[in-house]
Structure 1
Amino acid sequence: MDGLAEDIHWAGARRSAICTAALFLAALLVLDAGAGELCVLRVALWAGLAALLFVILLPPRVSVRAGRLSTRGLLVGHSVRTDSLASLQWCDGVAQRVVLRDTEGSSVEIDPTVLTRNPAMWRRLDADTRTSVERGTLLLGSTELRELAEHIDRETARTVFRVSGLR
């Protein structure tokens, strides 16, 4: 369990972001060409809008290794020491987020569905957060950690039942 665990669905999400932005650009260009309004300036504007859509849709790449969780966006990356977490906050709502802060002051924000869809990542993170609890560094978030673990276990069970045809 000391190896690197990455989001196995990230490449598909990237592909979806690229396809969506490309289809958006194509639709705008076809509409403009059909209306007879297509010019270099409008092509540049539509390309810029498509690029912005891509940036918005591209999820960060998440990876977990022993003692560290890292996210990598288009331009910026963040990482935290998961074996010395100071706090864990789980914002359960429409846009669920887990915010991890370590004792060095670094923080990372991730979507908990990444952990649900990637059991190896969750196992590694869960083991490291237990280390933080044992060391006494995790001062805020023990309850949220339990709730997150229950949520991930529930979603995993639902997925197993759905795939096996029992639900």
Structure 2
Amino acid sequence: MRRSGRVSPAGDRHWRGSARFALGCALAFLGMALLVDWDAGTLTRLRALLWIALSAAAFCVLLPHRVTAGPGRLSVHGLARRHTIRTDALVTVRQYGDVSSRLVLRDTHGRRLEVDPRVLVANPLLWHELDTGARRSQQHGTLREGTDVLERLGHEIDDSTARVVLKASGLS
């Protein structure tokens, strides 16, 4: 949707649900901790503040980073920081880890960004923006390392999308 000439960025469509889950877990932890402490007769203001602080810490740990993409850029928003890179000026793309993998992207301005590849697999619009920018980087000759990683990830996303389409159509 366009507003005053700006294109709205693509975002992680599952982030809100994950954020609600993190909040629910933190609130459930807080409620259970306060209930058990109250039932034991040991609940004080100081202990209640401790449980609130621990619940807030649990929320911060469970809250996923928010990933957005627009023409020529990819951003990851954490609680305190926001990292943005130019996808049309990529230099390297590396994938680390097998079980809990992460994609590390660097651009020509020296900025670095880490993103979970599962977010890109689950959100084709984010992948499209990254892929389009990476192709521009290849055309400009700035992308020196990582084309094989992007190609492998592209095949994984295509396979995942095909499985979803076949399942929805009843062919699988």
TM-score, normalization by structure 1 = 0.93
Contact persistence 1:90–1:148 (CA under 8 A): no
Q: Verify: 1:136 aligned to 2:141, yes or no.
A: yes
Partner of 1:24: 29
* Partner of residue 145 from structure 1, selected from 134, 146, 150: 150
| Offset of residue 160 of structure 1 | 2.5
Given the alignment, which residue of 52, 70, 75 partners 1:47? 52
- Give me the CA root mean square deviation: 1.5
Question: 1:7-41: per-residue Cα shift (whole Å, max 9, x none)?
Answer: 11111111111111000111111111111111111
Whole-angstrom CA distance in 1 between matches of 2:167 and 2:122: 14
Aligned mate of 1:162, from 154, 159, 167: 167
Deviation of 1:92 (Å): 4.4
- 2 CA distance for matches of 1:162 and 1:56? 34
Q: How many residues align?
A: 166
Q: Which amino acid aligns with 2:99?
A: V
Please state whether the residue corresponding to 1:138 is helix, strand or coil.
Answer: coil
Question: Cα offset for 1:153?
Answer: 1.4
Deviates further, 35-44 or 79-88: 35-44
TM-aligned CA deviation for residue 157 of structure 1: 2.1
Q: Does 1:109 align with 2:114?
A: yes
Unaligned runs of 5+ in 2: 1-5
Moved more, 76-85 or 155-164: 155-164
Pair 1:7 & 2:12 matched:
yes
- SS of 2:69 mapped into structure 1: strand
TM-score by length of 2: 0.90
Give, in whole Å, the separation in 2 of the partners of 1:103 and 1:6: 24
Of 49, 66, 75, the residue aligned with 2:71 is 66
Shift of 1:109: 0.7
Distance in 1 (CA, whole Å) between partners of 2:12 and 2:147 is 24
Distance 2:30 2:168 in 1: 36
Q: What percent identity do the matched residue pairs reach?
A: 44
Does residue 78 (structure 1) correspond to residue 83 (structure 2)? The answer is yes
The one-letter code sitting in structure 1 at the alignment partner of 2:153 is L
Tell me how far 1:71 sits from its aligned partner.
Answer: 1.1
Unaligned runs of 5+ in 1: none
Q: Measure how far apart 1:146 and its partner are.
A: 0.9
Q: Give 1:62 shift.
A: 0.8
